[in-house]
Amino acid sequence: MNVQNNYSLLTKMRISYFLFSVNPTFFPIRVVFFSIHAMEELPARKEEVEHAEEEQIIFRTLCNPVEILDDGTGKVGGIRCVEMELGEPDESGRRRPVEKKGSEFEIEVDSVIMSIGTSPNPLIRSTTPGLEANRHGCLVTEGESGKTSRDGVWAGGDAVTGAATVILAMGAGKQAARAIDEAIRNA
């Protein structure tokens, strides 16, 4: 899946990516948060970032994922990123991230969760049969595991709760990752 074509749209949406390394032979689960923004410009409160760091979330700021890589079997195998740097200030005085030339690199991952908004995306439930949603359009899950009504699908964050804090979404992602790991181990 190539996200390069949507770069400017995704940038405008202040996109961030959560990458979950869910490897049943290696525990604990590693969570990496990628953002094109500098740490001080993250769309989160300071305490949310501090809580995430306490949860051992790894932050890769001024970094833009541009392509999700296939592992050769049709599953996620990695992600291609480019480093960003702050450009000249615009009319508002804000220094926008710009791509560093020649800074492309790849990271091995086995799961990618894209976070691009604060409310559930209606496309998810309308294009994925078997996902139960509540009257607000949020996905219904079994407790804190994030397991949805569709076999093999877990969800967390705004897709389940509606608009909430980044740390709650990260925590939900971590709980879902643990549940996914357990499901793989017990398969």
pTM of the predicted model, to two decimals?
A: 0.51
**Does some domain include residue 185?**
no
pLDDT of residue 27: 46
pLDDT category, 3, cuts 50, 70, 90?
very low
pLDDT of residue 10: 31
**Would the pLDDT of 24 be above 50?**
no
pLDDT of residue 29: 66
3-state helix, strand, coil in the chain (%, to 5): 30, 30, 40
**Does some domain include residue 155?**
no
pLDDT category, 140, cuts 50, 70, 90?
very high
β-strands 141-142, 63-70 pairing: unpaired
Tokens found for residue 137 = 């359009």
Tokens found for residue 163 = 């608009």
77: Cβ contacts below 8 Å, ≥ 6 apart = 69, 70, 71, 108, 109, 110
Tokens found for residue 150 = 């569709």
Residue 133, φ and ψ in degrees, nearest 5: -125, 155
Q: What is the mean pLDDT of the chain?
A: 78
Mean pLDDT of 161-173: 81
**What is the CATH classification number for the domain harbouring 109?**
3.50.50.60
Distance CA 155, CA 169 (A): 10
Q: End-to-end alpha-carbon separation of the chain, Å? A: 27
Please, where are the H alpha helices in the chain? 7-12, 46-54, 122-127, 158-161, 166-185
**Does some domain include residue 164?**
no
**Does some domain include residue 140?**
no
**Does some domain include residue 121?**
no
Q: Which long-range contacts (CB under 8 A, 24 or more apart) does 84-92 make?
A: 84/36, 86/38, 86/62
**Does some domain include residue 47?**
yes
In the chain, the number of structural domains is 1
Answer with the residue of higher pLDDT: 176 or 3. Answer: 176
**Would the pLDDT of 76 be above 90?**
no
- The boundaries of the domain holding residue 79 are 4-116
Distances (CA, A) of 40 to 43, 51, 62, 164, 171: 9, 15, 11, 20, 21
Between the ranges 25-29, 40-44, 154-158, where is the mean pLDDT highest? 154-158
**Does some domain include residue 103?**
yes
